[in-house]
Each structure stands twice: as C-alpha cells, then as structure tokens.
A and B are shown apart, each in its own frame.
Chain A
Amino acid sequence: MDITALKRVSEDHWELAPTGKMRVPVVFYADRALLEGMDDKVQQQARNVASLPGIVKASYVMPDGHWGYGFPIGGVGAFDAEQGGVVSAGGVGFDISCGVRCLLTGLRTSDVEPIKEQLADALFERIPAGVGSTGRIHLDDQEMTAMLEGGARWAVDRGWGRSEDLERIEEHGCMRGAEPQYISEKARHRQRDEMGTLGSGNHYLEVQRVAEVLDPEVANQLSIAQDDVVVSIHCGSRGLGHQVGTEFLREMALAAEKHGIELPDLELACAPLRSEVGRRYLGAMRAGINCALANRQIITHLTREVFSRVLSKAELPLLYDVSHNTCKEEEHIVDGVQRHLFVHRKGATRAFGPGHPDLPEQLSEIGQPVLIGGSMGTESWLLVGTAEGMSLAFGSACHGAGRRMSRHAAKKQWRGSKLIKNLAHRGIIVRSVSMRGVAEEAPGAYKDVRAVVDSADRAGLARKVARLQPMVCIKG
C-alpha cells in the first residue's frame, strides 16, 4: 500500500486525514512493514467506510487488515443512529459471527504427544468438516427458531454443553434482539443439516500446545501454563449466515438510493439504522450470531465426547469464545461523552478492557480474552483487551494473520500432500478431505501472525499473554 498520504502518529498508529467525501479520518494500527504489505484496496475500502453517514470518530484498520468486501477485513466502524448512522450487511459480511473459541483441557503436552495420531483420527471422524459434510443434528422449523433465539444457551439447554460455558461467551452465549421471523425460508433450508459442522476454507479445529507464556500473572488467572494443551475452534454461522448476508446485501444495495445513500462501492451496501430494512437486518443478523454461537457450542460438545473417549481425564472447560464479523450495540465514551453506538467489526475481535460491565466477574480484572488464529503450520495467540484499547478503536483488536497470497497463487506454489508430510515432520498432524484445500491454506500463504500480534500489542489494542502452537489440525 502506498503510505505517502498517511501521517505517522507512532510506530503502530497512522492516520489519513479526511478528504473528498470522507466524514472522518482513517486510522491504521500497524507498523510500517505491515502497512506497506497491505493492498492499496485496503486504503480505498477504509476511505469508503469513512464516507458513510453517521460514522463516529474514525474508520479503523487493524494490523491484519486486508482487501475485503466493502469494509476491509480487519475493519472497524461505529455508527450513531441519532446522526443518521447506518448498518452495513457488507460491513458484517457473509460469515456472520465467524469466530474462535478456546477450550482448556487440563492436559499437558506429554499426555497428548504419544496419542496425537489417534486423537487426530477420532476428531476428524467425529467433527463434520469440509464441503458436503452434514451434522447428525437436523432441526425442524420450531427448533430452528428456538436455536436462532437462544444461541449457545439453546445448545446447552439441549444437552450440548454446560451452563458454566455461557459465562465465557460474548453476550453470555445468547445475542439479545434476534428476530428469527426475518430469517428467510432459504436461509433456514441451508442450515437444516449444518448444525455442528466446521465448514471449509480457513475454518479449523486445532489441538494446540502453550508454547510460550508472556504474561504469567494473567495466564495463571486464565488457568494456562507453559506446555498445557488447549483446543481452538474456528468457524461461524454456516449456510444460514451466508444466506442472510447474500439476501440483505442485495436488498440494501438496491435500496441505497431510496435512502439517499451514495454507495462508493456496491459491496458497502447499507441502510439507515432507523430504516425498516436496517431494523430487519439487525434482527436477522443477531439471529445469525446466535446460529454461530450454537454451532461452536455443539462442536465443543462433540470435541468433549472425543476427548472423553481418548483421554478420559480431560475436562475441557471453555476459556472464551470471540466473534469476528458482527455489528453490536455498545456504549462508548467519545470525547468525554457516553454514546450508544453500533460497532461493526469485520474480521476484527471485540477486545474489551478490564472492568467492562459485559465481562464475567472472573475476567473483569484482566480484560476480555482475545483469540488470534494463525495458520495451520505457525502459531495462534492469546491476548487480553486493555483499558487503553477502549478509546483506540472502540475496544477492538486484530483477528488473525491475514492472507498475503491468493488461493490461486497458493495452489500453484504448494502441493497439499507434501505440505502435510512436512508438517508431520515438524510434529503437526493435519487431517483434511482436500489436498488442494490444504495447499490453498498453506502456512506460507499467510502473513506473519507474530508481526500482527506484536503490532496490536505495541499499539495498545490488546496485550499478549501466550503463544499457542498446533499439534493437531482438522481442516475444514
């Protein structure tokens, strides 16, 4: 990305002053190397977001920013309904509430190492992953509605999980304000057989080792220590979320003119928060969030079943569950004034600081866990939100490494079978239905997650706690 128009505020904080139709500046949190590595389209997309009605303070780009749809991936924007603010179906994206959850196991690396292959096979057999996989749960219309209203709470009520899990999920496992009546028949149909499935692409389930602890005090409060084993699950709202995104994107794009909104990019399709379509979308999108929370909850249950068979002493309590693609109503202090805002996070993680009222009591002192997924051959990270981050980007941080190479290029450069062999030599067991899928998700196709996390830490968005290395990876 050409950064000549950007003003450097600090090593990891850059600003682009408003010009043309921009209503607010663009703020980039990234170091020079990460910025220069971003596509020029990231800047264009962030400028477009800055031009939307009712945007507050700035259009933000996280350190893992890359070219997305309407919003950049790693984009954050908050809107005020009182000032004509909008909600953007493009800004939330197709995979509503795609996210990561992390489970503790109570196991040590030495417990898992000898039975890694067996564990990989058992997880691969039990957790539906990849295209064409369906779950064993089939929802009728009534149960679908209950799921869309209840989220992970619905799943726990049906026996897929424990009540104590709910405290460790954003919104306590159930997004309020979901309106399943706005979920179309097509969206319901797409989801009917997809509960408890990982999906494909960059979705995964990993068994990981805590390779390094950077903040022992916080790690201790989160009950993790060096060489502990955890499980991370990355997936979203599956076909239902995709269909909701598809339908509202189209409707908002066609209705923009009627709402007096000039769209610089059709993909930025949005509608006033106070409009009829805006309200309907919020209700449907929140139901989509519940679908993702329920999905990850069911996969958690299946994972626990596998561990109880293979390593019976494992308990698998939930460390935390974060969502990436959302628009949430939140209270924020802006220039000393408390405001009620609709915060879009597209490929960005909520990262509330210590003392935030939405955090469960056990996490109040340390801040919200922020789970950063890496690629299957590198590493993932556990961070926590900071007090400072609340004013930097509405309590948001990065969400992953971000791709540096297209699928197209990755497919040409690597062979899946060879990658799997190389990773096995390094002690990482990969299971996937598609060799080409493994090639397209090659570790080398992703940016250096450590550079992204270091930048987020230096910028003050979130603080590093621990580094996690994959032992087993089930690819979606």
Chain B
Amino acid sequence: MASWEHFSHEADIGVRGRGESPDAAFEQAALALTAAITDLALVQRDAQVDIRCHAPRLDILFVDWLNAIIYEMTTRSMLFREFEVRIEGQELRAQVRGESVDRKRHQPVVEPKGATFTELLVTQEDDGQWVAQCIVDV
C-alpha cells in the first residue's frame, strides 16, 4: 500500500515514500515534502502544474523530482497535494495540483531549500514495495 512518512535528521527533515512502483513511491515522497510544510488536508487542488525531469540514474531523478517541486513551490508561491508521476527510462513526467500559499490558513512551517543526496535511497524491498527517500534541507 502506498504511504509516506518523515524520518529524523538532526537539523532538517527526511521524506520517505513507499509504493508499488517507483512512480508511486515518488508521489508519496512528494506528499511527505508538502506535509513538512503544512497540514496536507489544508491544501486545495485548484491549479495544475506540469513537471518534467531527466536524469541518468533513478536516485538522482528522485532528487531532481523533489527539487523541481521545490522550484515550482517557491517561484509560484504554491503548495501541492496531489501528484501523478510517470517514469519512462530516464525521464519523469508529472502533473501536480495545489493552490497558492495562504499564510494565515496554511501557516507554513518551513521553506525547503533543496533535496539532498543525504540518506538518498531508491530501491525495491523484499516485499516488492518501492521506497524513495532523502533528507530535505529546510
């Protein structure tokens, strides 16, 4: 079953997604990223943004994916709560949905600076589930 969680880092925060495919694990990790900033339930799905990334390795593609979301969040001043990811080879295409930041309603906690290579892992576990994780500098 797809799920997300945060894990501890002394200064910052780890995001981890699990799912039946890398696509699903990436989607879940993106939810964890938004949940580090605000309560997911507070984010509406009013607007859609398309994201494309390309990387020579799946783990680097994951970092690129989170960094692409961070870029869209900061330059559009938006928060996202729905992610549809399709990975084909070295290419990721995604549609993400969310809304403009409302500082009173969302009370955003932190502003992610970037996804890092620290604790970076994209792997398939023994039970067939995919895990995608890394630390995000906030």
Contacts and interface: CB of A to CB of B under 8 A. Distances in A.
Contacts of A132: 77, 101, 103, 106, 108
Contact of B75 (A66, A190, A436, A437): A190
A246 B9 contact: no
Interface string A243-263: 101100110011000000000
Interface stretch (B19-27, B63-71, B82-90, B124-132): B63-71
A269 B114 CA distance: 15
Interface string B84-112: 00000000000000000101101111110
Nearest to A253: B117
Contact of A67 (B11, B63, B101): B11
Range of interface residues on A (Cβ < 8 Å): 35 or more
Contacts, number: 120
Interface string B40-69: 000000000000000010001001100100
B74 to A, nearest CB: 5
Contacts of B117: 69-70, 90, 249, 253, 265-267, 269
A135 interface: no
Could you say which of A199, A265, A434 has the most chain B C-beta atoms within 10 Å of its C-beta? A434
Contacts of B63: 250
Interface size class of B (residues with CB under 8 A): 35 or more
Interface in A189-238: 189-190, 199-201
A87 to B, nearest CB: 17
A145 interface: no
Nearest to A200: B111
Given A131-B110, A190-B75, A437-B109, A94 B137 contact: yes
Given A130-B103, A436-B107, A67 B10 contact: yes
Contact of A131 (B10, B37, B75): B37
A292 to B, nearest CB: 13
A133 interface: yes
Contacts of A433: 103-104, 107-108
A95 interface: yes
Nearest to A236: B113
A131 B13 contact: no
Interface of B: 6-13, 37, 56, 60, 63-64, 67, 70-71, 74-75, 77, 101, 103-104, 106-111, 113-118, 120, 135, 137-138
9 contacts: A73-B11, A94-B114, A94-B116, A131-B37, A131-B101, A249-B114, A249-B116, A434-B107, A434-B109
Given A69-B135, A239-B75, A407-B110, 19 more contacts: A67-B10, A69-B116, A69-B117, A94-B113, A95-B113, A131-B103, A131-B109, A186-B71, A189-B75, A200-B138, A245-B113, A246-B115, A250-B60, A267-B117, A269-B117, A407-B138, A434-B108, A434-B109, A436-B109
